[in-house]
Amino acid sequence: MSIIRVNKSKENPYLIMNKTGLNDINMTLKAKGLLTYFLSLPDDWQIYEDELIKHHKDGKDSIKSAIKELVSNGYMTRVRQRDKNGMWRGYEYTIYETPNHNGLSNNGLTNVGKSASTNKELKPSIKELSTKNILHVLSESEYESDTSKTFLKYYKQAIINNKGKEHCKVSENNQARIQANLKQLEDEGITAERWIDEVDIHFRDLKANNNGSIIPFLKASMRYFDINLD
């Protein structure tokens, strides 16, 4: 193999980085490339997924997948940001040159499950979510596990917060399908915190004419969870 290199000078700047990430067999070349790009940026650079998509040929799904790899392998943490009114304001990212498995998880919680100080009071806990005035078209009592109940409870609250209305009515067949899909996501290891992250992103990008039904969201499970639901 021959490698043709350029002369390194002020006019031809270069990057010095630890090779741990490049040699990590648990990551794809796509994720390694994104890590290298992040490490080439100034330390105070603000990362926005929309800007990454705009300025690179990779599509949204590809970049989201690479980010998830970096998070799961300890090279990135991200904390959800909300304003004083509880509105979604994206993520605050931290990039690590070598894996950091003692910091924050990708949902803005510490590894021991307590709220991180940087994310404190940005969002109510799941237990604090109001269930008043929610039309129980989808009855939480019919969902066997606490996790599936939390999935449904948060989605219904998200419709109220983002669309100003309760969930639309669904048929018995669709209700059974929703129940099965939520159980499958739980069986695949999707946590309540991960569900909350993706629901927030879903409503952030939701078109005005979309009624917010949970059914299309579940149909897009490959995009949000990398899982093809039955």
Same domain? For 181 and 218 the reply is: yes
Same domain? For 81 and 139 the reply is: no
Same domain? For 162 and 220 the reply is: yes
Structure tokens at 142: 């019919």
Q: What is the CATH number of the domain that holds 79?
A: 1.10.10.10
Same domain? For 91 and 146 the reply is: no
pLDDT digits (tens, 9 = 90+) for 22-73: 999 989 999 999 999 999 988 888 888 888 888 888 888 888 889 888 988 8
Same domain? For 208 and 146 the reply is: yes
Assigned domain for 188 exists:
yes
Q: Of 100, 119, 138, which one is at a domain's C-terminal end?
A: 119
Name the residue type at position 193.
E
Same domain? For 106 and 130 the reply is: no
- Asked if residues 162 and 206 have their Cβ atoms less than 8 Å apart, the reply is yes
- Asked if residues 66 and 30 have their Cβ atoms less than 8 Å apart, the reply is yes
pLDDT at 94 over 60: yes
- Asked if residues 32 and 24 have their Cβ atoms less than 8 Å apart, the reply is yes
pLDDT band at 118 (very low <50, low <70, confident <90, very high): very low
At residue 167's C-alpha, the angle toward residues 161 and 172, to 5°, is: 160
pLDDT at 138 over 60: no
Assigned domain for 23 exists:
no
pLDDT at 33: 94
Same domain? For 131 and 214 the reply is: yes
pLDDT band at 124 (very low <50, low <70, confident <90, very high): very low
Structure tokens at 78: 């991200």
Same domain? For 102 and 183 the reply is: no
Same domain? For 133 and 220 the reply is: yes
- Asked if residues 158 and 198 have their Cβ atoms less than 8 Å apart, the reply is no
H or E, element range at 35: helix 29-39
> Which range has the worst mean pLDDT, 20-24, 38-42, 135-139, 152-156?
135-139
Assigned domain for 9 exists:
no
Same domain? For 186 and 147 the reply is: yes
Assigned domain for 211 exists:
yes
Residue 82 belongs to what domain range?
29-119
Cβ neighbours of 216 (radius 10 Å): 12
Query: How many angstroms separate the first and last alpha carbons of the chain?
Result: 47
User: For the range 14-17, what are the long-range contacts, defined as Cβ-Cβ under 8 Å and sequence gap of 24 or more?
Assistant: 15/39, 15/40, 17/97
Q: Of 69, 99, 119, which one is at a domain's C-terminal end?
A: 119
Assigned domain for 200 exists:
yes
Assigned domain for 5 exists:
no
Assigned domain for 15 exists:
no
Assigned domain for 7 exists:
no
The mean per-residue pLDDT over the stretch 76-94 comes to 75
Q: Which phi and psi (to 5°) does residue 221 adopt? A: -60, -30
Q: Of 119, 139, 168, which one is at a domain's C-terminal end?
A: 119
pLDDT at 134 over 50: no
Place of tokens 């799941």: 126
Distance CA(88)–CA(104), nearest Å, equals 19
Question: What's the domain count of the chain?
Answer: 2
